[in-house]
Structure 1
Amino acid sequence: MNKSHPIFLPVLKTNGTFKSKTILCFLFLSLFALTGCNSSTSSTETPAGSGENIGGDGDPFKRDRLLNINITLSEADYRQLKAEGRTLASTSRECPEQFEYTEFDATVTIDGDVIEKVKVRKKGYLGSLSPTRPSIKLDFNDILKDQSYQHRERMTLNNNRQDPSNARQCLTYDHFRKAGLPAPRCNFAKVTVNGEDLGIFTHIEPIKKPFLNRVFDNKDGNLYEAQLADFGLHLNNRFEKKTNETENDRNDLRLIAEAFQLPDEEFIDLIKSYIDIDEFIKFWAMETLVGHWDSATGNGNNFYIYRSSSDNLFHFIPWGTDASFTGRHLFKPDSGPLYRNFRLASRLYNIEQYRNQYRETLEQYLQDEWDEDQFIESLNQIASFTGTPQENLVSITEFVKGRGAPEDDGYKPSQKVLLTNALENMPDVGKEYLIPDVAPDCSSPVNSDLIVNASIQSDADSGTFQFTLPSGHLVNASITLAAFNVDSAVISEQNNSNPPVVSVLLIGADTNDNYKPYVLQVFIEKPQFANGGFEFHGFASTVLLFNVDDSKPLGVSTLALGDSGEMNLVNVTRTADGSANPYAFDLTIRGKVEFETGENNATNLVNP
């Protein structure tokens, strides 16, 4: 997650008067970062023929190697690949529908080596989804048995959508490995598809059996991927089985969940027989050190657990680290910098012996692992190697070194200062936010048609957005009426993603309910911000509806999320310098929004 910048959001009072309130323009993209989470689609057909290893014995993860990857598939297949993806509402349901990406046949050239009969598909759960610059998975031996590239059967190519620095993932995994913790290898690739230069991607070692064999010297244990998951009688079902899918009955997870019901002494005796606790504390401290808020201990997200057959213990593996080096979970205020938004971390923190072990481990990391100058040097080396602009590194640099002095306006303490202060004030530091261990609500969500007709011009903003509340009330939010008293359209470019996103924030007064205010936030990926139509897609092209609510930290509360639909832009022009908005355009939307009330969906992330 990159830093979000505040804007002035004018809001209407429910009595029809007006005021202005500074809030954050919806905190966007990586705040729902579920990148790294994906749904696998594997061929059930028997591979034909016999393949070979292509490219010799080189190391595809050598750090100073920039892979040059060219992918060729039919234009129709490429259009479909880019278009596939979940919508915002579909990912927030407590019981999401199964989603599988389509696999396509392709020819891939890597550093001049041609590999034919390769399966290619899109990857990503929500935050990394892009309709113009997709993350990609390659499978070399799906069609031709035993075909590989430099002895690797698969490649995972992340588009760095939430990390314009291109550095967060590799630097994070470097820190984990340096501390002796299991973590994937990582380097960089320049990716081209059908002649279209997609830029720099991060090449990540997949968490599959070859990784398990390399790290644990075995591959037959139970591997799970966590997507907003935790240990619990109900929550255990959120761990996705990645090996032994048929024979694994999740009994190993059930035993852990039951252990949490015991008093501390019995809990510790039992949990040590299921989880490598010393290693977990190192893992927890490392997530803290690198400010990986969208993590196991920071968010119950983006990690794997593997029960190694060598010791019959679970080990934690980091994943989806493109929000590292940010630290603060904006929708779980005051939960950092010492994360414990995970049951195991919370329980251990409340036992003095293990809280002290966590403290001592973190202090050791700060002393031995956290060299600010060396970190900045590594960051600049990656930027030089990948051609990343210096302005894309600012948020990481400020995380590491801080900004200004305490007496300065805009002062930001460094991560070392934040952690040192927090350690001095243990145990009374921060808050914890645990996912409730309750049965999921799988009832059908309530939705509504959304109709938007808006004209955003340099001299006036006009139009309406309409939807029906669960109560049956038809909201007719007039942008035109709101414009008499406030700036009812705020357009900005969000450059904390790659590609950037154009944010269209509309304010309307409900003519059917005493001019009650509503806010509609529209996101459009910048390459699509041109005359034409496109469908809702992940967080790149979507809508969110908000109630104005002064009691909330941001002055609004989420009402509904974009489910499906199409946006159309016409008359798009750049406005003159000095104009209130950078663009003038006409926007229509015909779609559906979804109202949700679940305990752990995106709505609650916006309503901490």
Structure 2
Amino acid sequence: MKITTFGRKTGYGHGLWSLAFVGMALLAGCGGGGGDTEVSSPSDFEPPAEPVNIGGDAELYDPDRLINVSVTMSPADFSQLKSEARTLASTDRECVPEFDYTEFTASVTIDGDRMDRVIVRKKGYMGSLSPSIPSLKLDFDDLWPGRTYQNMTRMTLNNNRQDPSNARQCLAYDQFRQAGLAAPKCNYARVSVNGQDLGVFTNVEPIKKPFLAWAFGDDDGNQYEAQTADFGTWLSQRFEKKTNEKENDRTDLQAVTDALALPDEQMVNVLPQLVDVDEFIRFWAVETLLGAWDSASGNANNFHIYRDPGDGLFHFIPWGADTAFRGAHPLKPLTGVLYRNFSLADRLFNIPEYRARYEAELEDLLATQWDETALLAEVERIRELTGTTADAAASLKTFINGRGEPGDGDYRPARRAVIEQAIAEETPTGEVYRLSDTEPDCGAPATTSLTGSIKSEGGADTGAFRFTLPGGQSVNASLTFAAFEVDSLVYSVDRESKPAVISLLLIGADVNDNFTPYVLQLFIEASDYVPGTHQFHGFATNALLFEVDESQPGDVRTLALGAEGTMTITRAGTGASEGDVELTLDATLEYDSGIQ
């Protein structure tokens, strides 16, 4: 057993030594939300409710405000709400299955104003999912038509799971708005459910018709949400239509797809008739400057597009900005500083005129908007408003202003220097990761059971994990035998998640096949790292299975992701013995579609 870092012995590729950090970075996952399910209507014996605005006309998204939100609901309902989640494996399928969160009724008190018959449900696609601190959506209007709170029918409360600083989302959206782009307003809320304090959440304006009305002056156009979506024959189907759903006319998406299929000299004439290209380039530049890796240009994810009836053009709207002010891309590690993991960005970047315009936008943002002193002051203001610790905001400040001097072991350049260097490079560094526009395989995935008994005590690692490869070969991966070559259990803590997440990286040698090494990474929220049985839940509690492959980045290849199952902890060390653990596994994994 080893804590936090590997102590390399001999034998296996060096990628294993960084895998703990790769795996922890995967926790950043993707944003987004699920659909709704029906809820019982109020009793027929209840009198009709009159439209009413609760709380007066104060600005719900006043940045100087820390709202108090208290939810009261059935304890059984809250337990079910917390437990609901997509499986990690399902989000990696080529055809992601539909998933709906259950809607519950609750009483909600906001800054002293109580409202009954409020709809509450969980929110989140993958990265923000937590079994202990769920993001929430509140709907004041569904069971009481015409009721609003401070003129809003809904609230979206993000748990900041991927941002312990609590500041990234509001800082990011403010940068988009300063650049003249449409972006949601937001501030902060302290949330409790049934008297349990869940901490500080970000109160983000929903991208609904009221937002479209003030941002564009017209809310009748087609709005789409992207969760790993792009323009393409097949990829465009991943855009979820959020307005005009009954008509379901998606020909506007097809028009952009057709334009991007044209040669450059034709595309540059057709595309501006469909997309506000100048505005997109500025949007793309802001995403890049913010290091928002889980974004449109960074990950083909976490954005909305809206076709404004006023000009007939598509406009981009940022969403899920809790991974902004990060920079490095944990899922696509060879991505360069200048993001272009999206068809529109990639095509434009490869046309010299448009690359020059993109880089000019970055230079303009650095010259006129990117103010390190003001940004750091705003981080401090938010930290004081929300009661966030200095340690929780440290990585955010480092991203903005850098740390140390060149040559120092912990040196980190300021974001300004990173962008300036990237612009100066004649040949851009990094690779481009585009989604594949091919017909998806919607067949049932190959699965395997995963079992295991693991023990680490006083530096001695024993036990094994067992699974079956798609071809039928049984694997018995022994930590005991692997320990002769490597530290076969590595314990680490990711404190850039809220709550912190424990990672247990297990290296086992297959006793059935010449001691071939396999790697299993287990995750569990620190608050759950106690004796008991814990259900798999998103990235918060789950497993990733790898094989050693030195031709891959990090020298490993992902084999399978956790679907359903349990991790039963018998003993978890604390203090000087925090890496000691004894646990068993009983789960189902889904193999990646490319694994034969």
Same-fold status (TM-score > 0.5): yes
Query: Is this contact kept in 2: 1:491–1:502, CA < 8 A?
Result: yes
Partner in structure 1 of residue 33 of structure 2: 38
**Aligned ranges for residues 149-228 of structure 1 at < 5 Å?**
149-228=149-228
| CA displacement, residues 195-236 of structure 1 (integer Å, 9 cap, x when unaligned) | 100000000000011100110111111100011111111110
| CA displacement, residues 30-77 of structure 1 (integer Å, 9 cap, x when unaligned) | 646454311121547777633411111111100001000000000000
Query: Is this contact kept in 1: 2:564–2:587, CA < 8 A?
Result: yes
Q: Which SS does the other structure have where 1:8 is aligned? A: coil
CA RMSD of aligned residues (A): 2.0
Partner in structure 1 of residue 435 of structure 2: 435
Whole-angstrom distance in 2 between the partners of 1:500 and 1:378: 24
The runs of 5 or more residues in structure 1 that have no matched partner are: 604-608
| CA displacement, residues 387-420 of structure 1 (integer Å, 9 cap, x when unaligned) | 1111112211111111222232332211111111
Query: Is this contact kept in 1: 2:299–2:342, CA < 8 A?
Result: yes
State the one-letter code of the partner of 1:269: N
**Aligned ranges for residues 160-559 of structure 1 at < 5 Å?**
160-426=160-426, 428-458=428-458, 460-559=460-559
Distance of aligned partners of 1:22 and 1:463 in 2 relative to their CA distance in 1, 3 Å threshold = closer
Q: Which SS does the other structure have where 1:378 is aligned? A: helix
Please say if 1:595 is aligned against 2:573.
no
Distance of aligned partners of 1:30 and 1:511 in 2 relative to their CA distance in 1, 3 Å threshold = closer
Query: Is this contact kept in 2: 1:523–1:539, CA < 8 A?
Result: yes
| CA displacement, residues 367-390 of structure 1 (integer Å, 9 cap, x when unaligned) | 001111111111111111111111
Distance of aligned partners of 1:520 and 1:334 in 2 relative to their CA distance in 1, 3 Å threshold = closer
Distance of aligned partners of 1:405 and 1:572 in 2 relative to their CA distance in 1, 3 Å threshold = closer
Query: Is this contact kept in 2: 1:225–1:242, CA < 8 A?
Result: yes
Whole-angstrom distance in 2 between the partners of 1:196 and 1:460: 39
Distance of aligned partners of 1:26 and 1:475 in 2 relative to their CA distance in 1, 3 Å threshold = farther
Q: Which SS does the other structure have where 2:211 is aligned? A: helix
Query: Is this contact kept in 2: 1:6–1:24, CA < 8 A?
Result: no
State the one-letter code of the partner of 1:39: G
Shift of 1:506: 1.3
State the one-letter code of the partner of 2:78: Y
The runs of 5 or more residues in structure 2 that have no matched partner are: 43-47
Partner in structure 2 of residue 22 of structure 1: 17
Q: Which SS does the other structure have where 1:283 is aligned? A: helix
Partner in structure 1 of residue 61 of structure 2: 61
Deviates more, 1:390-399 or 1:204-213: 390-399
Query: Is this contact kept in 1: 2:23–2:521, CA < 8 A?
Result: no
Q: Which SS does the other structure have where 1:22 is aligned? A: helix
Identity of aligned residues (%): 50
Partner in structure 1 of residue 132 of structure 2: 132
Q: Which SS does the other structure have where 2:280 is aligned? A: helix
Deviates more, 1:423-432 or 1:485-494: 423-432
State the aligned residue count: 588
Partner in structure 1 of residue 5 of structure 2: 7
Query: Is this contact kept in 2: 1:59–1:150, CA < 8 A?
Result: yes
Partner in structure 2 of residue 606 of structure 1: none
Whole-angstrom distance in 2 between the partners of 1:22 and 1:527: 26
| CA displacement, residues 516-566 of structure 1 (integer Å, 9 cap, x when unaligned) | 111111101111111111211000000011112233332322111101111
Deviates more, 1:210-219 or 1:480-489: 480-489
Whole-angstrom distance in 2 between the partners of 1:437 and 1:444: 20
Shift of 1:29: 5.7
Query: Is this contact kept in 1: 2:282–2:361, CA < 8 A?
Result: yes
Deviates more, 1:127-136 or 1:38-47: 38-47
Distance of aligned partners of 1:248 and 1:427 in 2 relative to their CA distance in 1, 3 Å threshold = farther
Query: Is this contact kept in 2: 1:6–1:23, CA < 8 A?
Result: no
State the one-letter code of the partner of 2:31: G
Whole-angstrom distance in 2 between the partners of 1:177 and 1:289: 14
What TM-score does the superposition give when structure 1 sets the normalisation length? 0.93
Q: Which SS does the other structure have where 2:106 is aligned? A: strand
Deviates more, 1:179-188 or 1:561-570: 561-570
Query: Is this contact kept in 2: 1:29–1:540, CA < 8 A?
Result: no
Whole-angstrom distance in 2 between the partners of 1:38 and 1:9: 40
Whole-angstrom distance in 2 between the partners of 1:407 and 1:520: 35
Query: Is this contact kept in 1: 2:118–2:140, CA < 8 A?
Result: yes
Whole-angstrom distance in 1 between the partners of 2:492 and 2:411: 25
Whole-angstrom distance in 2 between the partners of 1:358 and 1:542: 40
Whole-angstrom distance in 2 between the partners of 1:563 and 1:115: 38
What TM-score does the superposition give when structure 2 sets the normalisation length? 0.95
State the one-letter code of the partner of 2:168: R
Deviates more, 1:558-567 or 1:72-81: 558-567
Query: Is this contact kept in 1: 2:4–2:493, CA < 8 A?
Result: no
